[in-house]
Amino acid sequence: MNVFLSMVATVAFAVLYQIPRKAILPVGLLGIVAELFLIAASEEHVGLVAVSFAASLTISLLGEGFARTLRMPVTIFSVPGIIVLVPGMNAYQTMKDFVTHQFMQGIAMGTETALIAGAIASGLVMAGVLARSVWRPRKNVD
């Protein structure tokens, strides 16, 4: 059920950015991939930071692949693709801790949130660098 909802959420988010119709199916697929990573994380008890990095790297690489085969900008795929990974619950918990004066918990939670966000960003960066170095020669021929 959650997998289906992730796909819906991802595609609907993509519609807000007016992505081309041809890109909808791949984007939905990326949403599913993201949710599968999260499910695996909770079942295998792997830390969210590590999983977020792996998921974001995978999704961005897939996105770079889609972008090249479909001849579209990468942002079409990577922006909606990683939305499911965004640590919304952690961020919310952080704010809640601070508002209720539980500063120590808030700082701990906030640090984890920041680390997850950093991991997602690093995945994007890594995929971007890899794609640039691997695909650059072909791009010049274009």
Partner 1 sequence: MDEERVLRLCMQTGLLLLRYGGETSRVEETMAHMAMGAGAPPDSVQSFVTPTGIFISMTTDNGTLTHLTRVTGPATMNLEKVTLLNDLSRRLQRGNCTVDEAFAELDRIEQAPFIYPRWMQMVASALSSGSFTIILGGAGSDFLWGAVGGLIAQETTRWLTRYAPRFFSVLLASLLGALLAVLSSAIGYTHDEGAIIIGAILPLLPGLAVTNAIRDLLAGDLLAGVARGAEALFTSVAIAIAVAVAIGISPRLT
- Give the binding site for partner 1 (CB under 8 A): 1-2, 5-6, 8-10, 12-13, 15-21, 35, 71-76, 78-80, 82-84, 86, 88-89, 91-93, 95-96, 98-100, 121, 124-125, 128-129, 132, 142
DSSP single-letter state for residue 100: T
CA distance 35 to 54: 12
Torsion angle of alpha carbons 78, 79, 81, 85, nearest 10°?
Answer: 120
Pull the structure tokens for residue 38. Answer: 């999260």
Which C-beta is closer to partner 1: that of 46 or that of 89? 89
Which C-beta is closer to partner 1: that of 40 or that of 132? 132
- Minimum distance of partner 1 from residue 46's CB (angstroms): 19
- Minimum distance of partner 1 from residue 19's CB (angstroms): 5
Query: Is 30:67 a contact under the CB 8 Å cutoff?
Result: no
